[in-house]
Structure 1
Amino acid sequence: MIPKLIHYCWFGPQPLPAATRQYIASWRQFLPDYQIQLWNEHNFDYQANAYTRSAYAAGKYAFVADVCRIQALYQHGGIYLDTDVQMIASFDPFLHHHCFTGFEQGMNPYTRELTCNPQAGVMGCEAGSILMQDIWQQYQNLEFNPQQLITINQLFKQIYQKHGIILNDQRQEIPGYVCVYPSDYFMAKNAYTHELNRTANTVCIHHYDGTWLNDSKGINQLKRRILNTLRTTLGARNSQKLIALLKRKNR
């Protein structure tokens, strides 16, 4: 059984935003008998691993959290949540798994086709999970390069492909390894368009707030979201025409 233990990470000098505190309040509301464990610089030794040491020195705290979540789950078991995840139901029906996670949906900005990808913002396991061990081993051999960042989702994708898990947003299970649920269970919001797909299956919603970004990166993320919305609404070619027209008018 997966223990009733929620892990979350917060590294760096910035305080928890008000929105994050509201999301954590939803955890307490729907998971009242779960222990909640915060991981940060004071209880996670980021200096012990070359990858996290370099990531922390570069101020890339989200990449420190990527490793921290894997270590916490492998050592203690429980459920990891990103700080912008809102609970709307309980995880109790999933605690029988050895390990569970889910897909997330995105969109190709040029073809406007929906995409399906691994995610690491909501996942749970028993201590000693083989999947978490596999991901942890990847980080032991990975060099942190700020110019060529490799996300934790990319590592999950490599592992999934190795084990024959198909990125099709359908429930798939490898007994004793992982059960991967469709996106509407844990990732009911599209990662690219932010369109909500809440269903009777939905347990939580990942809002993709990017709370770990600094101000300049937050502005850049907002720009990307605006461009994504234009591409989704107008199509790639028409959105580029509109952007070019706006640039000419602002000269």
Structure 2
Amino acid sequence: MTPLTAGNTRVKEARKLHRRSVRSERRCFLADGPKAVEGALAVPGCVVEVFATPTAAAEHAELLGAMPLTLVDDRAMSGLSDSVNPAGLVAVCRFLRGELPPRPRLLSICADVRDPGNAGTVIRTSDAAGASAVVLAGDSVDPYNPKTVRATVGSLFHLPVVVERDPASAVRRAQEAGLTVLAADGGGEVDLFEADELLTRPTAWLFGNEAWGLPEELAALADHRVRIPILGAAESLNLATAAAVCLYASTRAMMAQ
């Protein structure tokens, strides 16, 4: 089979999925790289089509199994992939079902998180820490942004990622589900190192924007505000690091019960 070129209609149509408006209209997105494709293939009915260079198809034959492939040349793959150094595999995937599970134990709520890499890393970290779901609330980045998908390293396909336009509604829904909402706040009244009893409860962590944190009116809706102690001279922790510290503190406390 002769690989398709960048000018092929199927390649050009798939490439349009880099645009959010097209993703929303078609309810499809691109999963770039072996880990993302592996995660997508594990979700029944998720994958529409897999594009691969001949080299990548041979290298990942075991992963792809009997999945029908569309071979493309390197230039076509460069247009499909969002990576500087494409791995040679990109899947067209259907939108996933982003719904909260009925009895969540640990939840991440991201309010107005704009950076695709940060959002993807929070999703990946939430997955690693055993969270039940992630909520991207307010003006947060599209979870199907190619950079976000790539930053999750496949975790997008492991746990529900819910989109909620109203951050306050996301907080209320978590509380109605029986979760204690903890706002990660550098000025919080609770020290994370002294919060073990609090952390044993089913918890939703509320994280704010990378630059300005949580708006006062949103933080006020949380049940508690929790600060991560800064022991050195650093001004603060970045969002993804703070999320990792908070989520793993909860997981450790829950496992120690």
Name the TM-score class by shorter chain: under 0.3
Give the number of the structure whose alpha-carbon radius of gyration is greater: 2
TM-score with structure 2 setting the length:
0.25
Q: TM-score, normalised by structure 1?
A: 0.26
Query: Relative contact order: is structure 1 or structure 2 higher (C-alpha 8 Å, sep ≥ 6)?
Result: 1
